[in-house]
Structure 1
Amino acid sequence: MPFKRYVEIGRVALVNFGEDYGKLVVITDVVDQNRALVDAPTETRRIMPFKRMTLTDLTVEIPRLASKKVLTAAFTSADVAGKFAASAWGKKLAARQSKANQNDFERYQAAVAKAKRNRAVRKAYNQLAKSA
């Protein structure tokens, strides 16, 4: 499978470290081989090292060093946040976040549901193994 996520102007990246962890940013310019100028509609434009971001499959059609107005228009028209949330990666992050936000009773309910589900699976498996 060939590599498809290249560093390019308009590539959407997920911040994987620091105070902006989990936020989507767009690469607006490449500074050098280790850093890029990134921007997002809700963030300030700044230089970020590539080690602190993970490239996604999403891209936005913007010119190099696009203004905030142009970037925001392209970001919203391409529905980047919605597409990322609908992807498997976005769903996994949302599930992880919802599990982290559970209270004690919700964790208890999940454990009881898991035990009940495992009991049903074990019962069905034992019946199949006994008949075979």
Structure 2
Amino acid sequence: MPDQSTFKRFVEVGRVVLINDGPFAGKIAVISEIVDHNRAIIDGPTSGVPRQSFPYRHLTLTPLTVTSLPRGAGTGTIKKLLEKQGTTEKWNESSWAKRREVIASRKKLNDFERFGAMLKKKQVRDLVRKEIKASA
């Protein structure tokens, strides 16, 4: 029986990562070089993240990869491959990115807007309840 790994996302050159900490938190970048078992060099030319060494503990690996990216590729090469493969668009269309946008928009609501959202949620819930009761 072959030894099958349960992990699907690996730290590799070309892996798209989500930054969790620091001034670029919430932005995506690409691993361009692996420094050691604690750090990688990341670059995000389309998201405004400068090329820098970054610890893995502040990154989240996404399922997206930039294929055929050579080790230590420069910013220009990474930008060309990101645009060619449409990786940024794939990220923006993913449910993960959409969910992050919803959470961020809800955090920006003031007290009155939260109250209005609660009322709309109650209206929808009542309509659904009435439809279910009518169909039963």
Q: Normalization by structure 1: what TM-score?
A: 0.86
Shift of 1:101: 2.4
Which piece of structure 1 moves more, 107-116 or 43-52? 107-116
Task: List runs of 5+ in structure 2 lacking aligned partners.
Answer: none
Shift of 1:108: 2.8
After TM superposition, the structure 1 = structure 2 runs for residues 38-57 of structure 1, keeping only pairs within 5 Å, are: 38-41=42-45, 42-57=48-63
The percent of aligned pairs where both chains have the same amino acid is 37
Secondary structure at the aligned position of 2:49 is classed as coil
Shift of 1:104: 4.1
Question: Within 2, Cα distance between the matches of 1:101 and 1:65?
Answer: 39
Letter in 1 for 2:113: E
Letter in 2 for 1:85: N
Question: Within 1, Cα distance between the matches of 2:105 and 2:89?
Answer: 17
Aligned to 2:29: 25
Question: Within 2, Cα distance between the matches of 1:78 and 1:107?
Answer: 39
Which piece of structure 1 moves more, 114-123 or 21-30? 114-123
Task: List runs of 5+ in structure 1 lacking aligned partners.
Answer: none
Q: Deviations over 1:18-37 (max 9, x none)?
A: 21110101001111111111
Aligned Cα root-mean-square deviation (Å): 1.9
Letter in 1 for 2:76: K
1:77 aligns with 2:81: no
Which piece of structure 1 moves more, 23-32 or 76-85? 76-85
Aligned length: 129
Aligned to 1:120: 127
Q: Normalization by structure 2: what TM-score?
A: 0.84
Shift of 1:52: 0.3
1:35 aligns with 2:42: no
Shift of 1:127: 5.4
